[in-house]
């Protein structure tokens, strides 16, 4: 999965979570969406930010 697609999916999941919490007031669903969002953010950090940080540290040498 590429980083841009994952970033878009994270944004969609964030909207779903806020919809469930603020508008529908379905707190169990909001909690589930929040946990899914957290997992997606961790995946994004692992796949997309780590190579960027490594590349920047090499450039700084």
Percent of the chain with pLDDT over 90: 59
Average pLDDT over residues 27-31: 92
pLDDT tens digits, 2-11 = 888 999 999 9
| Average confidence score pLDDT of the chain | 85
Binned at pLDDT 50, 70 and 90, residue 48 comes out as confident
Q: Where are the domains of the chain?
A: 3-60
Residues 48, 6 contacting (CB under 8 angstroms)? yes
Cα three-residue angle 61-55-44, rounded to 5 degrees: 145
């Amino acid at each position: 999965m590429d980083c841009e697609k994952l970033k878009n999916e994270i944004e969609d999941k964030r909207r779903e979570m806020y919809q469930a919490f603020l508008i529908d007031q379905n707190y169990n669903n909001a909690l589930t969406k929040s946990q899914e969002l957290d997992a997606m953010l961790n995946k994004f950090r692992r796949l997309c930010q780590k190579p960027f940080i490594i590349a920047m540290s090499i450039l700084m040498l």
